[in-house]
Amino acid sequence: MNDIAFFYSPQTRASGVKVLLEELGASYDLNVVNTRAREQLEPAYLAVNPLGKVPAILDRGILVTEQAAIFIHLADRFRRRGWPRVWPIQTAAPICAGWSFTAPASNRRSSTVP
């Protein structure tokens, strides 16, 4: 059993997290969630993520959801020697979750602004 449990569904935003985990060389347990069969809404998965969304990771007891928050968490967790911390996950997760919900609705140009 690895430190990271990764809850994944193909052809979703979870694919980006899977690529990052592989690039980092992280050891993880892959838990496939069949969203076509609506497994993300079953009690077993809702116990992991009450919002019923993928991706999600459970890293040493820390639940991180939303792709952007997971990216920041993994960047901090696996940063190379001398690389600065991106953000403490306690600060990053709620902020990224908020961006994920509000940025597309509040700023139509958010995806085109560098």
Using the Cα atoms of residue 45, residue 54, residue 2 and residue 30 in order, give the sign of their dihedral.
positive
Instruction: Give the separation between CA 64 and CA 69, rounded to whole angstroms.
Output: 7
Whole-model pTM: value is 0.71
- Give per-residue pLDDT as tens, 31-78: 999 999 999 999 999 999 999 999 999 999 999 998 988 988 888 888
Instruction: Give the separation between CA 31 and CA 8, rounded to whole angstroms.
Output: 6
Residue 76, SS3 per DSSP: helix
Domain annotation covers residue 56? yes
Residues of the domain holding 98: 4-106
Domain annotation covers residue 112? no
- Give per-residue pLDDT as tens, 67-89: 988 988 888 888 765 656 665 55
Total of domains in the chain: 1
Residue 95: CATH number of its domain: 3.40.30.10
